[in-house]
């Protein structure tokens, strides 16, 4: 057995990554790292009584080359007589929809497929081929981005059902093993592109550091990582406890952060809590972004910060509010009695005139107005600056912007509230308040039922 064979088994035992008899889904891209990982598992599957399957994601980013990788892995699965699971995804489309980078989109799609396949076949763990060079690169990238103390812990050896059994090995060890055992692999042409920060770190920055500080720079970084990882485990427990107290998720997906509780923590803990928030939302974290979010807590109510991927965070009185904004504009619609319209997440209808019911139930979803007071054109539109109406019970003019403030409507929700108007006058601020001029009175002979609903996109 080669030296890597021995260390591989020792590492699995020492780290408790998996146990004999378990089912392992090996993530295989076709590159040298994952092909060596596959070969190592294949060599010990009988003594360990492993059940092994392969998973491959074709990201479609390199056209024919990506399809070639998929076919190569399929043939290797047949060579090792192992089950093969694959998927092809449109990474660029997903990145566009989620407003993320190609790398973020590819990672999210990849791990989603691994998790789905794991459940389908009943695998115990997913093994990825991250190694010691990857870990050192990640630590340096995290240091530059400013991802907090836990970012210096690097890539976790095990998280949930994801294991990294090659994290002890360096790229030179893996390439040497591939030569000794004639392990075939594919070369990803994008690995030489300096468009990606990780490639820049691997191809230029780390070699420059090694030329100045010597070849021990990566082992030194990884030793620091091991120490920080132990401390970070304790810190993560404390962060989780505080995070649970001050961060709450609403049913509509919004996330609220209590500013009094956040400000009661020391600066480093505030940063770690904000970093946790960004990670849970799968948003890129950086020193600049974390600092801007913390500073937002000292800004006036209504202040806003774009977080990327369609998310924004607002200062809303004694809380920070994170929401995923829709880019949909409320297009003006002309309606008549008995008509309805659908505008993305909105549904609105105008009923036919009917006799006054014995009991009028007003809810968020519907309202009754005097039919004889409605005049064409009847319009549904978004509200605009300068709009005013006479809120029910307050028969005097009130600017809609002031009404929203009094009703404590968060800034990000204001432009998502449609208004229904008759002959230029606001009849109903949908889901909020009917105009007093259109209310049902003792003189009313017929009414029109207005219905409004708003779902999740």
φ/ψ (deg, to 5) at 305: -140, 130
**Exposed e or buried b for every residue in 309-325, given b needs 16+ CB within 10 A?**
bbbbbbbbeebbbbbbe
What is the average pLDDT across 263-276? Answer: 93
What is the per-residue pLDDT across 273-310, written as a single tens digit (0 to 9) for each?
A: 999 999 898 888 778 899 999 999 999 887 888 888 77
**Average pLDDT in the chain:** 90
* Range list of β-strands (E), 99-237: 125-127, 158-159, 162-163
Task: Give all domains of the chain, ordered by start, each with its CATH number.
Answer: 3-129+164-215 (3.40.50.620), 230-324 (3.30.465.60), 333-454 (3.50.40.10)
Distance CA 186, CA 230 (A): 36
Cα 222-228-231 angle, rounded to 5 deg = 155
User: Closest Cα to residue 143, out of 286, 294, 295, 292?
Assistant: 286
pTM above 0.75, yes or no: no
What is the per-residue pLDDT across 223-259, written as a single tens digit (0 to 9) for each?
A: 988 888 888 778 888 999 999 999 999 877 789 999 9
Q: Half-sphere exposure of 444 toward its Cβ, with a 13 Å CA cutoff? A: 22
Distance CA 73, CA 55 (A): 9
Distance CA 296, CA 315 (A): 6
Say if residue 165's pLDDT is above 50: yes
What pLDDT band is residue 131 in, cutting at 50, 70 and 90? very high
What angle in degrees, to the nearest 10, is found between the helix axes of 32-48 and 3-15? 70
Distance CA 255, CA 110 (A): 26
Structure tokens at 315: 């200062």
pLDDT at 274: 94
Q: Is 408 left (phi over 0), alpha (psi -120 to 50) or beta?
A: left
What is the per-residue pLDDT across 395-441, written as a single tens digit (0 to 9) for each?
A: 789 999 889 888 888 666 777 788 999 999 999 999 899 999 999 99
What pLDDT band is residue 45 in, cutting at 50, 70 and 90? very high
Distance CA 213, CA 215 (A): 7
The total of other beta-carbon atoms located within 10 Å of residue 37's CB is: 26
Structure tokens at 393: 């019970």
Distance CA 35, CA 178 (A): 8
């Amino acid at each position: 057995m080669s030296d890597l064979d021995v260390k591989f088994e020792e590492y699995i035992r020492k780290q408790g990554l998996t146990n004999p008899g378990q089912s392992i889904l090996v993530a295989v891209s076709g590159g040298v790292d994952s092909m060596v990982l596959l070969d190592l598992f294949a060599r010990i599957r009988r003594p360990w009584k492993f059940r092994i399957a392969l998973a491959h994601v074709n990201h479609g980013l390199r056209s024919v080359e990506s399809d070639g990788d998929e076919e190569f892995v399929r043939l290797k699965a047949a060579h090792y007589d192992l089950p093969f699971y694959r998927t092809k995804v449109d990474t660029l489309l997903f990145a566009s929809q989620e407003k993320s980078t190609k790398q973020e989109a590819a990672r999210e799609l990849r791990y989603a497929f691994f998790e789905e396949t794991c459940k389908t076949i009943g695998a115990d763990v997913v093994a990825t081929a991250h190694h010691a060079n990857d870990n050192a690169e990640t630590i340096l990238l995290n240091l530059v981005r400013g991802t907090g103390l836990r970012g210096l812990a690097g890539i976790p050896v095990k998280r949930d059902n994801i294991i990294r059994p090659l994290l002890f090995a360096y790229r030179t060890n893996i390439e040497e093993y591939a030569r000794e055992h004639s392990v075939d692999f594919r070369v990803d042409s994008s690995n030489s592109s300096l468009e990606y920060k990780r490639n820049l770190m691997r191809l230029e920055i780390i070699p420059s550091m090694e030329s100045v500080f010597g070849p021990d720079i990566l082992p030194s970084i990884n030793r620091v990582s091991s120490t920080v990882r132990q401390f970070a485990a304790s810190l993560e427990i404390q962060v989780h406890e505080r995070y649970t107290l001050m961060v709450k998720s609403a049913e509509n997906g919004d996330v609220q952060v209590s500013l009094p509780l956040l400000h009661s923590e020391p600066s480093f803990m505030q940063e770690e809590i904000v970093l946790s928030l960004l990670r849970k939302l799968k948003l890129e974290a950086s020193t600049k972004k974390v600092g801007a979010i913390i500073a937002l807590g000292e800004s006036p109510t209504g202040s806003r910060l774009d977080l990327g991927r369609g998310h924004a965070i607002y200062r809303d009185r004694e809380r920070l509010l994170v929401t995923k904004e829709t880019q949909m504009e409320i297009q003006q619609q002309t309606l008549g009695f008995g008509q309805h319209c659908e505008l993305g997440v909105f549904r609105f209808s105008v009923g036919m005139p009917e006799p006054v019911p014995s009991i009028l139930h007003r809810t968020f979803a519907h309202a009754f107005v005097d039919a004889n007071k409605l005049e064409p054109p009847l319009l549904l539109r978004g509200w605009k600056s300068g709009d005013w109406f006479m809120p029910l019970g307050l028969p005097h003019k009130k600017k809609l912007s002031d009404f929203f403030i009094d009703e404590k409507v968060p800034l990000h929700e204001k432009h998502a509230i449609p208004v229904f108007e008759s002959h230029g006058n606001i009849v109903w601020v949908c889901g909020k308040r009917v105009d007093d001029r259109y209310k049902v009175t003792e003189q009313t002979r017929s009414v029109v039922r207005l219905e409004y609903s708003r779902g999740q996109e």
